[in-house]
A and B are shown apart, each in its own frame.
Chain A
Amino acid sequence: MDYSSFLQMHEEFSLLGIMVFLLVYDIFAGEKAMKYFQPLALILLVIHTIYNAIPRDAFSIAGGMFEYVPMQSYVKAILNIGTIVILLQAHKFLNEETNRIKRGEFYFLIFSTLLGMYFMISSGNFLMFFIGLETASIPLTTLIAFDKYNRKSAEAGAKYILSAVFASSISVFGMSLIYGSTGTLYFSDLATLITGTPLQIMAFVFFSVGLFFKISLVPFHLWAPDVYEGSQTNITAYLSVISKGSAVFVLFTLLIKVFGHLVHQWQPILYGLAIASITVANLFAIRQQNLKRFLAFSSISQAGYILLAIISGSAMGMASLVYYVLVYMFSNLAAFGVISVIEERTGKVQISDYNGLYQTNPRLSFVLMLALFSLAGIPPFAGFFSKFFVFSAAAAQGFYVLVFIALLNTIISLYYYLLIIKAMYLNQNENPIEKVSSDWAVKLSLAFCTLGILAVGLISGIYGQISLLSFGM
């Protein structure tokens, strides 16, 4: 048997190489060499990202288990960039005395979830998909419960693993029904075999629950606020951007590749989920006092907007989806970056703590404001463009009512984003949060995100590149 075709899995192998190298380095490096652990890991990840960002020709190996299409390179690159930004933001946290011994594990676990997402994205078979999904969620649980002596963190970990396992078991049940009705689990064969019998529709409903859970759509979102609040802020960022971003892309490709014939069944399902996610999450977000819970609900509603791109099922929809994830990554990570810095230095995460932040921390307030404006979809920031394209993709397929409801919701979302801006800029406070000093890594990450928010929308070439490789029904 010829194993050389396996080497085509560039991304997976180079990430695996980095993981093994870091593990060995972590064990054998002396006190002095350990200082370079984080910079080294970051540099390796940057090289890995750049090397793998260039799309190659599509291929299929291992008898169709692993299927690569050029678009996946971009998606994986977005996930990589997001991970780099999050690692930069976690740099200080991991350098602390108490966390230094667990640093190797942190990196290893983050990279294994990333690897799991790679496999999930490139899977050509439901088994492969399931292995990827689990590889992505189980290390994530350990990361959520990373601070094991913190009650909230441990609780969040337990909550996540229980609900994640429950969701994936339902998903596996759905897969078994698919196998039962068609006799195969390969995506390429299923495309013609799934014709819309009642059993297959049931299988689809069960199967998709696992992904809806990952994307945290209403009504599968109940874990999100608690887990977001309990886990360490950088992990929260990882959950809300990377984990979600990979899942929406996989959902899109599966819907058009495998369940293409069921389009008249899944469109109404997604229609309802989109409206429920956006509306419910928006209404709950208004009432939140804790910023991390607030952003949990905000990211649920953002996921609802992404569904508008998925529902269109067109090539334009896929391009808007990938672009939306890219922009969402920049905006959300900028917001989480600011919150994590302030939480780490002062321990404050309540919205009322942010009153008068502008007086003491003008730069951090500015970055947070840009991020919130971008999330709310205000021009000339990138979020405006991504929202417009998503709406445009849905409107092109005639979903005007859905677009209208989503747009009405953007007003509600603008209201609660403005509440934060109001706290920072307008509200008076006798003793606001003192001046926070951020280290070079956080500064770099925030500068990078700000650049993304400002430039990605105005430079049309980025969207152009993405749309060249997108495909739809």
Chain B
Amino acid sequence: MNFLSLFVLIPALMMAGLFLSKSRNQIRTVAAIGASLLMILSGILTYLYLTQRAAGNLAEMLFTSDTVWYAPFNIHYTVGVDGVSVSMLLLTSVIVFTGVFASWKIDPLPKEFFLWYSLLSSGVYGFFISTDLFTMFMFYEIALIPMYLLIGVWGSGRKEYGAMKLTLMLMGGSALLLVGILGIYYSSGATSMNILEISKHHIPMAFQRYFFPLTFMGFGVLGALFPFHTWSPDGHASAPTAVSMLHAGVLMKLGGYGAYRVAIYLMPQAAHEMAWFFLILTGISVVYGAFAAVHQTDLKYINAYSSVSHCGLVLFAILMLNTTAMTGAVLQMLSHGLMTALFFALIGMIYGRTHTRLITEMGGLMKVLPFLGVSYVIAGLASLGLPGLSGFVAEMTIFVGSFQHVDTFHRILTIVATSSIVITAVYILRVVGKLLFGAVQDAHHQHLEDATWYERLSVVTLIIAIVAIGSAPFWISNMIHDSVVPVLSQIIK
């Protein structure tokens, strides 16, 4: 038993603990302890990973272990991590941890809420640690289905519609994905579903032409690839706070990570050949998402469309197929995960106080809620790429990377995508100005109470992470860079 399996085991134990707990305090204790353990575990993992690399361990994946599961189908339970998955695990831990505190007062049915929440997180962790196509796909689906109940029961607004749309569209994506996975496995002629093993085989080009688009679009649905992004605004807008955080923060990254780890790594030739088509689609995501956000008045919709734009940028950078852009893509996943989680947490906290999310009905909140107000400004600045915060590092790396292509097509696309930075500034500054400054619009808002300790804990944790990546990016970008190189060497080969 490898210690990486603890990432799946702890949420499972959390579920068992929650199942047995009776009072609200017990539920909170179990959830908080579990989330903290996961946080510590990912800290230890990062430390061990970095020491191993410093000691000169050049293996593609570290801490691997392999257990045969379904021998007739060559399905193994294989785990292993590289720099990209380590950073994703770190991100997940931060968001699961802060999500628990953001839903400290969840009502009704707190026990069921945390049960599904833990199941969701075990799926996400499992996805990031596994290197076997089958287990990866299994964990992917485990992460999807709790969303239906989480949004449907605890959500707000048009929650039934949002939940159904989200679940069905994401399941549609996973249907494409499953055909892709079966195709990859059978056409590669590999003797196991392990990704590292399959990458040594060559999938015939005739098959790659079918299975690359299927796999990429399958993951792309979750990564908000235009035109499959429509679940995202409705789903996020109706989801409860912690679920929006986890979903926009981590789950959408499953799409980018999967596209990188499975689609591009295993079918590099097709990726090279077809990148132009998907680049156009992701380019549309980036710009269209930003424009749509300008138009919205509901805080959650603004942030959901902004997620479409930012996640589009992740896929955009991955498709640039060079080291710099790909490193940028992973940094963007981290950065967007953290700041969008911060946004959703803050929106949830503001909504809990004002009972509205329309910016037209709010104003001058900085005076009444100084802590939340300042945090909102920080999140906004990170989102529009202020140097010193994580967004700058990520977007800078991406655009530098994509500009390394010398042909006109890539350069024009890059310039178009860069315009999203300006549009982002428009909607962020507009919201910040309208929401936080000026006179207090509603008399009821005069006597709102500022953040409580658990809300502060969750917000401060996220801000620390954002600032840490923004001001000291090199240790993490080096870690990612080293792991991106073997994937790209597949394409050059």
Contacts and interface: CB of A to CB of B under 8 A. Distances in A.
Contacts of B439: none
A411 interface: yes
Interface string A402-414: 0110011011001
B168 interface: yes
B292 interface: no
Given A422-B152, A426-B153, A319 B72 contact: yes
B142 interface: yes
B171 A426 contact: no
B149 A425 contact: yes
Nearest to B145: A378
A463 B171 contact: no
A411 B171 contact: yes
B134 interface: yes
Nearest to B173: A411
Interface in A424-469: 425-426, 460, 463-464, 467
A379 interface: yes
A392 interface: yes
Interface in A132-159: none
A319 B70 CA distance: 12
Interface in A323-382: 373, 378-380
A414 B168 contact: yes
Contact of B186 (A373, A396, A421): A396
B179 A418 contact: no
Contacts of A128: none
A411 B153 CA distance: 21
Contacts of B73: 316, 389, 392
Interface string B167-193: 110011001101100110010000000
B141 A378 contact: yes
A51 interface: no
B409 interface: no
Contacts of A380: 138, 142
B171 A410 contact: yes
Given A373-B145, A388-B134, A426-B153, A407 B71 contact: no
A126 interface: no
A418 B167 contact: yes
B349 to A, nearest CB: 25
B164 interface: yes
A411 B134 CA distance: 19
Contact of B71 (A316, A395, A414, A464): A464
B160 interface: yes
A415 interface: yes
A392 B182 contact: yes
- Chain B binding site: helix, strand, loop or mixed by DSSP? helix
Given A407-B175, A425-B152, A415 B183 contact: no
Nearest to B178: A407
Nearest to B183: A400
Interface string B141-156: 1100100110011000
B70 A463 contact: yes
Nearest to A319: B72
Nearest to B142: A379
Interface residues of A, number: 32
B141 A379 contact: yes
B141 A384 contact: yes
A111 interface: no
B3 interface: no
Contact of B148 (A319, A379, A404, A418): A418
Nearest to A466: B72
Nearest to B72: A467
A376 to B, nearest CB: 9
Interface of chain A: mostly helix, strand, loop or mixed: helix
Given A384-B138, A425-B153, A460 B179 contact: no
A406 to B, nearest CB: 9
B194 to A, nearest CB: 16
B69 interface: yes
B164 A415 contact: yes
Nearest to A415: B168
Nearest to A463: B70
A123 B179 CA distance: 37
Given A389-B73, A395-B186, A407 B167 contact: no
Contacts of B72: 316, 319, 463-464, 467
A378 B179 CA distance: 16
Contacts of B182: 391-392, 395, 400, 403
A378 B145 CA distance: 7
Interface in B59-83: 69-73, 75
Nearest to A369: B149
B138 A460 contact: no
Given A388-B134, A391-B182, A418-B164, A460 B71 contact: yes
A388 B70 CA distance: 12
Given A388-B134, A400-B183, A415-B164, A426 B70 contact: no
A418 B161 CA distance: 12
A414 B69 CA distance: 27
Contacts of A396: 186
A392 B137 CA distance: 13
A223 B186 CA distance: 39
A401 to B, nearest CB: 9
**Which of B148, B160, B178 gathers most chain A CB within 10 Å?**
B178
Contacts of A414: 167-168, 171
Most buried by B among A373, A410, A426, A467: A426
Nearest to B109: A358
B178 A391 contact: yes
Nearest to A395: B182
A28 B167 CA distance: 59
Given A411-B172, A460-B70, 9 more contacts: A380-B138, A384-B141, A404-B175, A407-B179, A408-B175, A414-B167, A418-B164, A426-B152, A463-B70
10 contacts: A379-B142, A380-B142, A395-B183, A403-B179, A407-B178, A415-B168, A421-B149, A425-B149, A425-B153, A463-B70
